[in-house]
């Protein structure tokens, strides 16, 4: 889930525990040019304090006034719409024609936020169901393919790490990549069988596996919400992972190294049971061409390319002169 929305849940839980009256709004439908996606959250405290956003701010301003007056929602969940007409869209600062439909939920100690956040912190993917008539909440397991759903009687929202990133190698670059990836809501796993690297790994929340890369890739049962990036610069380790990752449904598979090294890598991979289409899935040199040189810059370049692919944005091919290559690697 979006880290911004995770912060909404944490703030809402703390406010409820402090005895404050809190209303949480969830975007359930959008029409036209909506500023925030379906599932976006905002929580508003009785004194007008806000966490999160469902619009550019003007909708929240209107909701704050209603929360303070006690008019927005009483003791049961309800729905509301903003920006139904072009005039309202202009009034609430929505893009022309944009419309939001929200579920408004009064939060209590029985809203299940403690359990929800505990399970998210255990990197579980969970579904929270809200009964609109009673306000009763149930929490159970979810799948990465489960969407938000609302049928008028039940709101089902999915929370937790939908996206996974496997990093091969526990070096300095991996540290920056793992930290930044967690900020983008990836569940991060590190694989490095080398004792000298694994012993020094210390990134909270990023699990370390000491098995061989091909075994770890297989064990993780990668799906379309998974990414694999190899960063050891050791072909024996990186290629082992790539041989399995390129055959998987992973949405992104990348390898560190110069264009020359990755060309040689592709020739090596062709000697095994990989098709040309599978080899063509490899992003190598890994990352967008940002002129990155330092480990944190390279991590940004990698995550930028992953984000583009994840969002269905076409990224440029590596055909320019070497000075424009990604990740600071030269031939």
**Residue 97 or residue 313, greater confidence:** 313
Share of the chain above pLDDT 90, in %: 63
**Residue 210 or residue 89, greater confidence:** 210
**Burial class of residue 20 in the structure, from the number of CB atoms within 10 Å of its CB (0-12 exposed, 13-18 middle, 19+ buried):** middle
Q: How far apart are CA 136 and CA 117, in angstroms?
A: 17
DSSP type of residue 230: E
The pLDDT score that the predictor gives to residue 91 is 62
Answer positive or negative: Cα dihedral of 301, 302, 304, 309.
Answer: positive
Which of 261, 260, 320, 264 lies closest to 288, judged by CA? Answer: 320
What is the mean pLDDT of the segment spanning 310-326? Answer: 60
Residues making up the chain, counted from first to last: 331
Q: Is-contact 302 177, C-beta < 8 A?
A: yes
What is the mean pLDDT of the segment spanning 305-316? Answer: 89
- Most confident range (mean pLDDT) of 10-19, 73-82, 137-146 is 10-19
Q: How far apart are CA 107 and CA 2, in angstroms?
A: 20
Q: Is residue 284 over pLDDT 90? A: yes
The pLDDT score that the predictor gives to residue 96 is 53
Confidence of residue 277 (pLDDT cuts 50, 70, 90): very high
The pLDDT score that the predictor gives to residue 34 is 59
The pLDDT score that the predictor gives to residue 97 is 55
How are beta strands 207-209 and 282-283 bridged, if at all? unpaired
Q: How far apart are CA 253 and CA 65, in angstroms?
A: 48
Point out the least confidently predicted range of 23-27, 141-145, 167-171. 141-145
Which of 86, 165, 159, 87 lies closest to 126, judged by CA? Answer: 159
Q: How far apart are CA 111 and CA 237, in angstroms?
A: 47
**Which tens digit of pLDDT belongs to each residue from 42-85?**
999 999 999 988 876 678 888 888 888 877 777 899 999 887 55
Q: How far apart are CA 282 and CA 252, in angstroms?
A: 8
**Which tens digit of pLDDT belongs to each residue from 144-166?**
778 899 999 999 999 887 789 99
Which of 66, 293, 295 lies closest to 176, judged by CA? Answer: 295
Rg of the Cα atoms in the chain: 23
Confidence of residue 120 (pLDDT cuts 50, 70, 90): confident
The pLDDT score that the predictor gives to residue 326 is 46
Q: Is the pTM of this model over 0.75?
A: no
């Amino acid at each position: 889930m979006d880290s911004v929305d995770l912060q909404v849940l944490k703030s809402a839980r703390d406010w409820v525990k402090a005895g404050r009256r809190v209303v949480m709004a969830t975007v359930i439908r959008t029409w036209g040019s909506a500023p925030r996606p379906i599932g976006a959250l905002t929580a508003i405290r009785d004194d007008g304090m806000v966490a999160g956003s469902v619009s550019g701010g003007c909708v929240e301003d209107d909701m704050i006034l209603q929360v303070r007056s006690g008019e927005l929602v009483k003791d049961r969940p309800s729905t509301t719409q903003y920006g139904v007409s072009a005039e309202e869209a202009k009034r609430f600062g929505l893009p022309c024609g944009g419309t939001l439909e929200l579920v408004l939920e009064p939060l209590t100690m029985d809203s299940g936020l403690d359990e929800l956040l505990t399970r998210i912190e255990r990197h579980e993917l969970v579904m929270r169901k809200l009964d609109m008539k009673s306000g009763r909440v149930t929490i159970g397991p979810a799948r990465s393919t489960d969407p938000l759903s609302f049928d008028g009687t039940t709101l089902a929202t999915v929370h937790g790490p939908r996206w996974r990133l496997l990093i091969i190698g526990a070096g300095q670059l991996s540290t920056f990549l793992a930290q930044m990836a967690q900020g983008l809501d990836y569940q991060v796993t590190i694989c490095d069988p080398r004792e000298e690297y694994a012993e020094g790994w210390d990134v909270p929340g990023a699990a370390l596996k000491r098995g061989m890369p091909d075994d770890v890739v297989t064990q993780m049962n990668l799906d379309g919400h998974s990414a694999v990036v190899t960063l050891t610069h050791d072909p024996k380790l990186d290629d082992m992972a790539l041989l399995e990752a390129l055959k998987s449904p992973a949405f992104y598979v990348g390898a560190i190294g110069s264009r020359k090294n990755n060309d040689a890598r592709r020739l090596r991979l062709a000697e095994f049971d990989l098709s040309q289409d599978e080899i063509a899935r490899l992003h190598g040199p890994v990352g967008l061409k940002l002129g990155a040189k330092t480990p944190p810059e390279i991590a940004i370049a990698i995550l930028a390319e992953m984000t583009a692919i994840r969002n269905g944005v076409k990224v440029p091919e590596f055909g320019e002169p070497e000075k424009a290559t990604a990740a600071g690697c030269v031939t």
